[in-house]
Amino acid sequence: MRGTMREHKWSKKTLAELLEEVRCMELPGAKNTRPLARHIRAALGEIERLQCSAKGWEADALREHRNANALRSEVERLRVAVGLATTAVPTMEMDPDHPVEMMQRVVAEVERLRAQNEECVEVSTQLHAIIERLEAEKARAALAGEGK
């Protein structure tokens, strides 16, 4: 019999010991206790099957609990990441119910800043070219003034 060594909470006896007691049981006035023993044996088998099922459910529940905890940790980590990313947009307020929309605003702001930076680099390059041209003209003028 499968799992005959399992102990019940209400008894320190194993299923095998309980079954043996049932086999040896004598009921007053009863001539044949075999049908009762079969019934009890079947009930004990069902109890054992249910205990095994319950243990499986407990293991499944524990695994799901661990998965849920891991997911909660990941969600918290992503909330922190979104919070850090929103620092690129000083006027943005945290909206934990709409993290995707928040990140879209962050991306739009970063793109705007990137375009503004490219414009500044272009203007800076043009200004450096003008400064170099003026310095070259100044140097030529100084050389022309020495030659007189």
User: What digits encode the pLDDT tens for the residues 6-41?
Assistant: 444 555 666 667 666 666 665 556 666 667 667 777
Percent with pLDDT over 90 in the chain: 30
Cα 19 to Cα 45: distance, rounded to the nearest angstrom: 10
In 3-state terms, the chain is what percent helix, strand and coil (to 5)? 75, 0, 20
Quick one: 65 and 8 in the same domain?
A: yes
Q: Are residues 138 and 80 in the same domain?
A: no
Say what the pLDDT of residue 100 is: 87
Give yes or no: residues 36 and 109 share one domain.
no
Question: 100 and 55 in one domain?
Answer: no
pLDDT at residue 22 in the model? 63
109 or 44, higher pLDDT: 109
The domain boundary, picked from 88, 115, 132, lies at: 88
Domain boundary among 38, 63, 88: 88
Between vectors from CA 129 to CA 128 and to CA 131, what angle results, nearest 5°? Answer: 60
**pLDDT of the residue at 19:** 65
Note whether 106 and 83 are same-domain residues.
no
Percent of residues, the chain, with pLDDT higher than 70: 75
| Residue 67 belongs to domain spanning | 1-88
